[in-house]
Amino acid sequence: MNRAQASITIRAEAATCFDYVTEPENVPRFMAGIAQYQPQSSNHRAKGARFDGVADIAGRKFETVLVIEEWAEGRRMAIGSVGGLKLRSTWDFAANADGTTEVTLVNEYEPPGVFRLMGGLVRSTVQEGTERSLSDLKEQVERV
């Protein structure tokens, strides 16, 4: 799988950042390329929780089901696809002594269909999206 990674420091406690990222209604607001993200049940904050997702890639919509694969409250969450797009996103939250949080996002993915033929363009687009997701997250969390 291909990989894009970025980190950012946010002026907020790790628990605040983690809670914002793991609240389903927030995901399309900060996560680049995610048009829809809906939990399949009310228990969406635990390993095994499932979500219906729609990604918008270059104007094409791709539906997928995502499952939380790792959950460490306030520190780490990883979610991966079980159908449709092949992807996995891992979020790490490290509290700093000054009350800020270092947030790292790793996106692993396999480009769908014809996008496989556009390797370099897809890599740079996903990297830019990963970085934009973190900067949008920072802006939204620090505004609260």
* Domain ranges, ordered by start, for the chain: 2-143
> Across 19-85, where does the E strand assignment appear?
34-39, 50-57, 60-72, 76-83
Q: What is the pLDDT of residue 124?
A: 72
Residue 107's identity, in one-letter code, is: N
CA distance 42 to 49: 9
Q: What is the pLDDT of residue 111?
A: 64
Q: What is the pLDDT of residue 117?
A: 44
SS3 of residue 43 by DSSP: coil
Angle (CA) 45-13-9 rounded to 5° is 105
pLDDT tens figures, 23-60: 999 999 999 989 999 999 999 999 999 999 998 876 77
Helix (H) or strand (E) holding 90: strand 86-95
Tell me the β-bridge partners of 90: 78, 106
Q: What is the pLDDT of residue 15?
A: 98
CATH hierarchy code of domain 2-143: 3.30.530.20
Residues of the chain short of pLDDT 50, as ranges, are 114, 117-118
